[in-house]
Structure 1
Amino acid sequence: MDGAADEVVGMLVEERGLSPTKIKPSSRLVQDLGMDGDDAVDFFVSLQERFGTDLSALYERWSDHFGPEGFSGWNGVVIIPAAVAGGVAASLLDLGELTGIAITVGLLALWVWAMKTWGHPNKMQPITVAEVIAAVEAGVWPSRY
């Protein structure tokens, strides 16, 4: 890699807390590196400040690539039923409050595992590290839409 590529990888290492050997040009920001929502916003703001890259085209289509900042509506759709199911199961089986909490936590852990395995319900277009490096080198995010 060269200067810009090394700097971008360095920023990703710092942002994600990963070893540089884990970050490849083909690594996808959301799917492979887990960068979504607020983390993605912070990374691209830092990228723009550091390199002066015009990211207007990316920002216009942001939701095609990244989930919402903060709390996702999909999480609410899962958290509430998981809490209800945990409480009902513990109540019906007379298992106690702590067991209901444990069932809820288990259901939420299953949701997190499913999202990491199969991705978000609304599949997003991936952005690779190589695409970020190319945009930095070009000084502008490509209008590929």
Structure 2
Amino acid sequence: MSMKANVLRDASGNIIVHMQGDLNYDHSLPLRNELQTIANDNPNAKITIDLGAIDFVGSSGICHFVETVKFLKENRKANVNLSNVKPEFLKIFRLYSINEADYVAELMNFDNDDTENLNTRFGNRNQTFEN
């Protein structure tokens, strides 16, 4: 399946990127370029990436997406937020240790989510299972 991203601007100049479809490797690099262009062209805008209509996230696609969000927030000092993140995708964000996942989890009230420190429990081990 393909991925579509509709870019909307509100009266205050804030930008909402509504994404739908699949976020995989083939779509992640063009999305990265587009998000960087949006951030460069609108340095003072609040950019919200709406992931509510994303149906599938591939492992390499999410890796590039997470790197892009981190780059925009840390290097470009862009005001980038995520919205409508599905719980299964939030777990992947936590696995990659994205700070945005904590913000989204707080908004969506995932207090009892057992994925806290998932990357240190499994990501730093030699094996991901025990016999």
| TM-score normalised by structure 2 residue count | 0.27
- Between structures 1 and 2, the one with greater strand share: 2
The structure that has the greater radius of gyration is 1
